[in-house]
Amino acid sequence: MAERALEYLKDFVAIPSVNPMGRSDISEEIVGEAAYAGHLQAELGRLGIDAALVGSPDRPSVVAEIRRSVPGLETVLVASHLDTVPVDGMEIPPFDPRLESGKLYGRGSCDTKAGMAALVAALERVLGRGELARNLILVGEADEELGSQGVRDVLNALGERRPDWVLATEPTEMKVACSHKGVVHVRMEARGHAVHASNPAEGKNAIVLLSRAAIALDELAQRLAGRVDPQLGPATLSIGVMNGGHAPNVVPDRAFLVADRRLLPGETLASARAELEAALVDARVADDVEIVSCALEKPTLSTPTEHPAAQACVRALECLGRPGECSSVAFGTDAGVFEAAGLPGVVMGPGSILRAHTAREYVEVAQVEAMTDFFVQLLSTP
């Protein structure tokens, strides 16, 4: 069974499924989830599972429902996203999976094709033995790395056929994560007045204005550091991109920044935006610096540890002799998007988040094997 999971994982990694992340400079040959989705659909078909592709043709998601005709049987939705981040700066061939020293290297090996490989391998065994004890909705969603459009496509396709709970596979080192922060991305733009640099007093420097706003955001970030969740740590604010100007001899009339705000449970998009607006007012730049977008990319996740989702995963781990305690993660996932739609859940998967998105991404083979065993246990016991 472990060998089957590795075979699946190698096949999956070899198929590019890069999320363009809004960029236009990435080769079309590696962009989009269509090839991976079609391959997964075919593999599920080989197991006798009818899978559908939903969403746009170039960015599809996979949905497969495996149900038993037993009234009242619990239904779990397992979501393992299809897309990966881009491959810029990778130090290994991103789509040539390589097994070395107990690690499988390649883009998406850790985040998060290992989760899907483990699930399909486990399904092959469970269905082959007729041991399925829960209804399963298998989901491979597109666009997790950016806007979670895949989750919305999946929910639209399911309609009223909703699961009892959700498990999103992400690299948690096989720990059950019941909570995580939310993710807000904000873009601010400063408007100035361009003049020749020989007479700057006649203009208005957008970069200077934006710099004042950036200092105000840094001061807000310091205040947020005192807002701490016992499990997740502090709320955060970080400026990730800042740019502007045209030439050194031109006073710039435009400048922009993009910042990342991590929410704690109880915080909202509206409350986060209000704090950002107040920071601009306090810095006296609100008339010249505008929040042009402020979007909730990933909602928070806050599933109680006593919820059936958490307890089912804990029991499955303990049956395998592994630690079954609940934890939390700092990064955002599609589990938060499902929770916002009324579907509670947890996050769990093989590999470490420290290996995700890296120049030498890999997942430990032992973790893939452990996740496969976990899925067999979860799906074959009520």
Tens of pLDDT, residue by residue over 84-118, are 999 999 999 999 999 999 999 999 999 999 999 99
Can you name the CATH fold of 2-180+300-380? Answer: Aminopeptidase (3.40.630)
The residues with which 364 forms a beta bridge, in sequence order, are 103
Cα angle vertex 58, ends 57, 61, to 5°?
A: 70
Helices (DSSP H) in 57-190: which residue ranges? 114-128, 149-158
Q: What distances in angstroms separate CA 25 from CA 36, 83, 185, 187, one per listed residue?
A: 21, 17, 22, 21
Helices (H) and strands (E) in the chain, counts: 9, 18
Residue 346: name the closest of 185, 188, 205, 180 by CA. 180
**pLDDT 10s digits, 32-56:** 999 999 999 999 999 999 999 999 9
Mean pLDDT of 338-345: 97
In the chain, list all ranges with CATH 3.30.70.360: 182-297
Q: What distances in angstroms separate CA 252 from CA 65, 240, 285, one per listed residue?
A: 56, 20, 16
CA distance 96 to 86: 15
Instruction: Please report the pLDDT score of residue 325 as a whole number.
Output: 87
> What is the three-class DSSP state of 1?
coil
Instruction: Please report the pLDDT score of residue 197 as a whole number.
Output: 96
CATH of domain 182-297: 3.30.70.360
Q: Are 366 and 112 spatial neighbours (Cβ–Cβ below 8 Å)? A: no
Confidence of residue 2 (pLDDT cuts 50, 70, 90): confident
In the chain, list all ranges with CATH 3.40.630.10: 2-180+300-380
Q: What distances in angstroms separate CA 142 from CA 54, 79, 137, 377, one per listed residue?
A: 10, 10, 16, 27
Instruction: Please report the pLDDT score of residue 1 as a whole number.
Output: 63
Mean pLDDT of 217-242: 96
Mean pLDDT of 239-255: 96
Confidence of residue 69 (pLDDT cuts 50, 70, 90): confident
Q: Are 371 and 118 spatial neighbours (Cβ–Cβ below 8 Å)? A: yes
Tell me the average pLDDT of the chain. 97
Q: What distances in angstroms separate CA 10 from CA 29, 103, 125, 257, 348, one per listed residue?
A: 19, 12, 19, 39, 21
CA dihedral sign of residues 145, 146, 148, 149: negative
